[in-house]
Structures are given as structure tokens and as C-alpha cells.
Amino acid sequence: MIVRFVLVFLILQAMIHEDKEKYKDILKDSVYYLEHHGFENIKADTEGYETPKSFIKKGSDITITPDIIADKNGRKYYFDISLKSEKPKLLKSKWLFLNALTALKSHHFKLITTKGHYKFTNEMLDDINMNNKSLIKI
């Protein structure tokens, strides 16, 4: 049972890493967009930036790391890049966690998406009743 869980976890981590590698140009474009819209102290999971803090689920090896964290006007913003994914359930869980975390700490959570991914993102948000989120479209 434990071996099966570890194997599934490793496969999911590899898939998430593949997605990040595949879309690293979109992540860089997102950071560029935020820099030019007044965000400071940007932390991003990309070259040349400090990696954002990861959150680890107690009693397991599951970690959640926001794609970008930045400050603007004294408030902290968490950003996640929304792109079509093979594992939408994992992405929904990540968004729900980040949304709850930011609400508890009076921070903001926003999603960044790009052309070709709007419909996927809106359907995912509808599925988890987060359709009040406005998207940053790059």
C-alpha cells in the first residue's frame, strides 16, 4: 500500500515537473507582465528568481508551491499559471488550497492563463465553485 502511494506520488511529481518545463516560457512572460504592472519582490519557480515557499502536507510527501508570489501596495499576491493539464484533479486541489491559504492570511490569489487555455480554466473554476476569480490573460 505504501509502495503504491509513493509510486503514484512520484509519477504525479514527474508530470507536474514536465508541465513546468513545457511551459516555462509562459511563466517567464507572466513574471515580465507582473513586473511591468507594479509588482515587486517577485518570487518565481524560474531561473533568476528566488523559489516561492512550498507547503508540505503533514504526514505525507505532498508539496504545493505557488508558481509566483509578489507584493504590490503592501499586499502579498499568490499567482498560479493555469494551463491545460493531464491531471485536473491535482490542479483543482492546488487552487483550493492556495485560495483558502490566501483568504486566511488576507492575501490575494489570482490565476494567470493564456490563449488556448481560457475555456479549460473557466471550466475548472466552475467545477470547484471559484467562478468569482478574474483571470489575468497574457
pTM confidence score: 0.83
In SS3 terms, the chain reads as CHHHHHHHHHHHHHHHHHHHHHCHHHHHHHHHHHHCCCCEEEEECCCCCCCCCCEECCCCCCEECCCEEEEECCEEEEEEEECCCCCHHHHHHHHHHHHHHHHHCCCEEEEEECCCCHHHHHHHHHHCCCCCCCEEEC
Q: What is the pLDDT of residues 34-79, one digit of tens each?
A: 999 999 999 998 889 999 999 987 877 788 899 999 999 999 999 9
- Residue 86's pLDDT band (cuts 50, 70, 90): confident
| Domains of the chain, CATH where assigned | 2-137 (3.40.1350)
Share the mean pLDDT of the chain. Answer: 85
Say whether pLDDT at 90 is over 80: yes
